[in-house]
Amino acid sequence: MSLTTKLAVLALSAMALLPMAAHAKGTGYVFVSHERTNNIAVIDPKQDYKIIKWIDTSHRPRDMNFRNDRHQLLVACGDDDVIDVIDVATLKVVDHIPTGHSPEMFELSRDQSKLYVSNEESSSVQEIGIKDKIIEREFPTGAEPEGIAITPDGKTLYVTSEVDDMVHVIDLKAGAVIDNIVVGTRPRRFLLMPNGKDLWVSNELSGQVLVIDRATDKVTATINFLPPGFRQVDVTPVGMTMTKDGATAIVTLGRANHVAFVDTATRKIEDYVVVGNRPWGVALSPDEKTLYVTNGLSDDVSVIDMASHRPIRTIPVGRVPHTVLVDD
Amino acid sequence: MQAVAGALGVAALRPIAMARGETKPVAVMRLGYVELADDPRYADRGEIDGIVFSDRGRPYEGGQVALQEARAIGRVLKIDFEMERAAGRSVDDLVQRVDAWIGSGNVHFVLADLPGSVLLELARRLKGEPVLLLNVSAPDDSLRGADCLPNMAHTYPSNAMLSDALVQYLVAKRWTQILVLQGPAPEDAAAVASLRHSVKKFGAKIVDVKPFVLSRDPRNRTESNVILMTQGDYDVVYVADASDEFGRYVPYQTALPRPVVGSAGLTPTAWSWSWARDAAVQLQHRYEKLAPGRRMNGAGWAAWAAVKAVTQSVIRAKSTDFDPVKAYLLSDKLTLDTVKGNPGSFRPWDHQLRTPLLLATGNAVIATAPLPQFLHQTNVLDTLGIDAPETACHF
């Protein structure tokens, strides 16, 4: 064990949630959570996409986010009602933050002191103070809340309710739901456009991405998907990400087994790329040269070259891969 | 940003009471639920062994789950969703109750957990009244065919859909030579009639139909002994047994080593507790909270879907009035989350809800129908059940 690692372990046991001196900056690792094998695969693209580590987590790990300048990886574990805290340097679970029933997706506040967690089975979003692990506020939502987005100014929180086909608008200062926007069927995830004006929401069952104008809370545009050879009912968009310049969005199409590349300015679909079975999770490498897609029903991750839009690799992972996240 | 809570849609909802505080509902959407007090379908049986195996629980709790889901959104939209339940001893009872609901309680959408013949009589007597009966448990093809009525819609799958789902699977497996064991109940005859139609539609063959009786009398052995009844040549045994008393003894007793399907073995159904995809587990958990010790069955799912169809239509039509809500519910705009993949909507030609079906054993979903091999020019779900060109329903 190197001195650095020893120091890290000591620091962890003492104060797991505080920033640490030792860290693994720039690992380039790809993290994949698995709902059914209760672990996270750590893939190193530099070692020919080898899985260099399996991190055992609490049960049913799903959404993941980095914290503390990527020193920590947080993962929501739906069946144990906790968010596990993973130390990125040692790739070990070092702490747990209790949540409500069945946490699915979450976001951090701008200052990273709070978590906003959608609890799939208790119809609420909780605001959790990370330091004291205290549920500070709870906002009622429709059934099966899922996607969460926080505006860059930190003032507004958006939450989808999968069952009730709504986007709730929560004013974080007032601590209240201030608007409810009826969207498509089974709304899942968000993408906040860099212009600050548009909020995209994927609607799994009606097969669309809707564009919400944040100024008026009105749906102003609809993006429909139909990869060649598929029927509308098979198009079930869920996950979304975009390039840093906001020019291109990538949407996973679920049962249609494709991802779509969308020009965000014209909202036209530029390309469809075939991936594995039921893609949901999607993430870009920091250099934006590579796209990673989790295929929930074929237990693998598709690696796509962004320049050519060609799939270059399929990595077998654990059972029911959910979220993919790339360290830089 | 609009500063008014729940601004969307509320303006269009009929205000029944002014909102005085945050929690006051501004509109009430009340549904009805009728059932037969002594419905023979739910009678305890156990005629052979005195043990009741199948879940014959009523579907009411399924509707309650959807109501609970709607209440979450009702809180923010200021709509109070409620459901009134009534059990009648006769059609007269039921007519009286529904009439009273329509008259005073503003109830226009009524879930019906009734045997097909009772439902038909009720619908006929309510003809012309502002009510839509939502059938959650009767599979009769005739209700979607020659006997159809515009004031009935069906979230429970028809016999035609159920047998189509099963035969699609058999054809996909190339188990096309079917030996049928048919029970004495009228429901068994109806199921076999649907099977004949499905077999013709998808290209399988019924090699023989053997009637069975519940008996241990040795003189009845040609009609009660599974080994004797399953001699011959076939790929699969289909059992039509509404009693559930005979069918469960057919698997593993057949003369040839062949799978058993229908009422026993691999069963086509609207719901199985072992379905785990498309947010099914979450729905199952919500159901088990309301109905401890039970697991949702096909009729429970149909009640859930019926309430869900109404509440979704209220939200989308932005109204609690009968006409706009009914118009939305029966339109192609409805995108009902069936929790089985494909979204559901009602067929305009017979008011049957389109839904995928599950092919399930006692503890596993083996396949979902429609099978990918079966295609349709507009909606693959219309490969299950009676399609527009062949319907006998004329509203």
φ, ψ for residue A293 (rounded to 5)?
A: -135, 130
pLDDT tens per residue, range A123-152: 889 999 999 999 999 998 888 899 999 999
Confidence of residue B245 (pLDDT cuts 50, 70, 90): confident
Looking at residue A272, what is its pLDDT? Answer: 97
Encode pLDDT of B329-363 as tens digits: 999 999 999 999 889 999 999 999 999 999 999 99
Backbone angles phi, psi at A309, to 5 degrees: 60, 25
Q: What is the mean pLDDT of chain B?
A: 90
Given the cut 0.95, state whether the ipTM is greater than it: no
Measuring CA to CA, how many Å separate B335 from each of A204, A311, B286?
11, 33, 21
Measured between alpha carbons, how far is A126 from A136 in angstroms, rounded to an integer? Answer: 8
Question: Has residue A4 got a pLDDT over 50?
Answer: no
Contacts for A170 with CB less than 8 Å, ≥ 6 apart? A125, A139, A156, A157, A158, A159, A176, A177, A178
Q: Could you tell me how many residues make up chain A? A: 328
Cα A272 to chain centroid distance, Å, stands at 21
Q: Is A140 on the interface with B (CB under 8 A)?
A: yes
Residue B29's nearest CA partner among B364, B369, B313, B366 is: B313
Confidence at residue B142, expressed as pLDDT on a 0 to 100 scale: 97
The secondary structure of residue A309, as a DSSP letter, is: T
Give me the residues of A, 148-187, that contact B with CB < 8 A: 156, 161-166, 168-169, 171, 176-182, 184-186
Nearest Cα neighbor of B80 from B69, B71, B89, B93 is B71
Output the 3-class SS for B131-184.
Answer: CEEEECCCCCHHHHCCCCCCCEEECCCCHHHHHHHHHHHHHHHCCCEEEEEECC
pTM, two decimal places: 0.83
pLDDT reported for residue A69: 84
Instruction: Identify the structural domains of chain B with CATH numbers, from first to last.
Output: 7-157+272-355 (3.40.50.2300), 160-268 (3.40.50.2300)
Could you tell me the strand order of the sheet in which B236-240 lies? Answer: B205-211, B177-182, B236-240, B260-262
- Residue B51: Cβ within 10 Å count: 9
C-alpha B315/C-alpha B95 separation (Å) is: 29
Give the residue among A215, A214, A187 at the shortest CA–CA distance from A201: A187
pLDDT value for A121:
81
pLDDT for B342: 87
Note the pLDDT of residue B25: 53
Cα–Cα dist B187/B178, whole Å: 19
d(CA B241, CA B262): 8
Q: Which of A59, A157, A180 to mutate to test the interface with B (most CBs of B within 10 A)?
A: A180
Residue B21 has pLDDT above 50, yes or no: no
Mutate to test the interface with B, among A59, A141, A161, A179 (most CBs of B within 10 A): A179
Number of residues that this document lists for chain B: 395
Q: State residue A195's pLDDT score.
A: 87
Nearest neighbour of A164 by CB, restricted to B72, B279, B335:
B72
Q: What is the pLDDT of residues A48-76, one digit of tens each?
A: 999 999 999 999 999 999 998 889 999 99
What are the pLDDT digits (tens) for B38-56? Answer: 898 887 766 666 666 556 7
Task: Search chain A and give the residue with CA nearest B343.
Answer: A205
Secondary structure (3-state) at B77: helix
Opening angle at CA A148, ends A147 and A154, nearest 5 = 165
Rounded to whole angstroms, the Cα distance separating B291 from B299 reads 14
